């Protein structure tokens, strides 16, 4: 991904289904083990403080999570003493991801699934601390598929 600090860059995969006029965000299954969940937005201990509303909850996030000496997530690499989590994608890596949801029983016709990969060079919480402009997410890639419902 574009250059920048590993602790600041945010890359996430979002999946949603459109059934008629209804749009449903489909949450990713967590692959983290233990009480700390860093791979699904909104499930991490510090996600509200660090990510805020920048990234839709339930999205699969690819990132490195740095901890300071107190064991709290930090966006300041010079304060980091440990990398608690790192699921960033390798160059040219293909990774299978799992998302699950229940199709409403009254759904008819077809469902359009849309997956999109987004990049953010740094979260707005970091921008706010420095008094700089909040970055805009960049859509890196997307794909859609229409699935008939029975």
Q: Is residue 69 part of a domain?
A: yes
Question: Where does residue 44 rank: exposed (0-12), middle (13-18), buried (19+ CB within 10 A)?
Answer: buried
Q: Is residue 107 part of a domain?
A: yes
Higher-pLDDT residue of 28, 6: 28
82-131 per-position pLDDT tens digit: 999 899 888 888 999 989 888 888 888 999 999 999 999 999 998 998 89
| Distance from C-alpha of 141 to C-alpha of 134, rounded to nearest angstrom | 22
Q: Is residue 5 part of a domain?
A: no
* pLDDT value at 32 more than 90: no
Q: Is residue 144 part of a domain?
A: yes
Q: Is residue 4 part of a domain?
A: no
Q: Is residue 80 part of a domain?
A: yes
**Domain span holding position 47:** 10-148
Q: Is residue 2 part of a domain?
A: no
Q: Is residue 1 part of a domain?
A: no
- How many separate domains does the chain show? 1
């Amino acid at each position: 991904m574009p250059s920048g600090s590993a602790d600041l860059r945010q890359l996430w995969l979002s999946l949603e289904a459109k059934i008629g006029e209804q749009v449903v965000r489909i949450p990713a299954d967590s692959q983290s083990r233990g009480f700390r969940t860093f791979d699904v937005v909104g499930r991490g201990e510090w996600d509200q403080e660090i990510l805020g509303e920048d990234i839709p909850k339930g999205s699969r996030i690819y990132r490195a999570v740095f901890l300071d000496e107190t064991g709290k997530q930090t966006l300041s690499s010079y304060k980091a003493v440990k990398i608690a989590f790192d699921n960033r994608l390798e160059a040219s890596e293909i990774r299978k991801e799992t998302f699950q949801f229940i199709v409403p029983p009254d759904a008819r016709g077809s469902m359009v699934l849309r997956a999109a990969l987004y990049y953010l060079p740094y979260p707005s919480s970091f921008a706010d601390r420095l008094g700089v402009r909040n970055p805009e997410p960049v859509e890196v890639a997307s794909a859609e598929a229409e699935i008939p419902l029975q």
